[in-house]
Structure 1
Amino acid sequence: MLPRILNALLGLWLIVSPAVLQVDTNIADNAHIVGPIIVTVSVIAISDSVRNVRLVNTLCGGWLLIAPWVMGYNNLPATINDLVVGSLTIGLSLVRGHVGHQFGGGWRSLFQDDPDHSRQASQR
């Protein structure tokens, strides 16, 4: 859960960083789009049942790593900010964490003769 919270905080920093770093509109627009996505995905991924949603933040972090060159940033602090936030976002999104509960069996359970969740339900 801690990596998800830290990722959410990184997303919040990304939202406010254009005002702090005083960057131009293209860089600010990028931060104002990617930041809320990182926050939303991080908060959703706190739940055990949708923990794998955290991997969407890997894509967001990857975009932040290449955005300075794709968008042609002309601001060194903004470039460093995106590289640091992107790297941390990728690293934190790859932390699997402890899964406390198992929910159903996913889509693969539809194609099994005796799925785990069915066996557990009949034992109760």
Structure 2
Amino acid sequence: MENWTNAKLCDVANLILGAFLLFSPLAFGFDAGMASQNAYISGIVIAVLAIAALAAFAVWEEWLNLVVGLWVMVSPWVLGFQGTTAMTIHAIVGAAVAILAAIELWMTSQHPPRLTTNR
């Protein structure tokens, strides 16, 4: 566990958030329409990006996570399912993913990942 960085913990959190979003239509009963389709697709994208970031860090993955998180957050208004449980879940998960991505981007700008080791 000592090799785990804060960035990896953010990626694990994003993986959990992606899985939560993926299964939320079934768990919360909005398993039809645009809200569920958006949750399935966005949840898979968030989870895949988190797995990719855990496997090999790349800054572009964090930028994509930021974009997807912002999309998930505003999608209820764009797709027209505001005022529902789906809206609340999308807004919270989207904000959390975007915030985690922004934190990771900030951390990498402060301490860029090393590609070589000093011996």
Q: TM-score range by the shorter chain?
A: 0.7 to 0.9
Structure 1 position 66, deviation (Å) = 1.2
Q: In the alignment, residue 102 of structure 1 is paired with which amino acid?
A: R
Distance 1:47 1:26 in 2: 31
Aligned to 2:86: 78
Structure 1 position 93, deviation (Å) = 1.0
Matched position secondary structure for 1:94: helix
Aligned to 1:12: 19
8 A Cα contact 1:14 1:32, kept in partner: yes
Residue deviations 1:84-115, cap 9 Å, x none? 000000011122257695227xxxxxxxxxxx
> After the TM superposition, which segments of 4 or more aligned residues of structure 1 sit over 3 Å from their partners?
97-101
Aligned to 1:102: 114
TM-score, normalized by length of structure 1? 0.74
Distance 2:62 2:46 in 1: 9
8 A Cα contact 1:58 1:90, kept in partner: yes
8 A Cα contact 1:8 1:42, kept in partner: yes
Distance 2:12 2:57 in 1: 17
Q: Mind listing any 5+ residue stretches in structure 1 that lack a counterpart?
A: 105-119
User: Closer, same or farther in 2 for the Cα pair 1:49/1:17, shift >3 Å?
Assistant: closer
Q: Mind listing any 5+ residue stretches in structure 2 that lack a counterpart?
A: 1-7
Aligned to 1:43: 51
| RMSD of aligned alpha carbons | 2.4
Residue deviations 1:32-79, cap 9 Å, x none? 111111011111112454244122111111111211111110552110
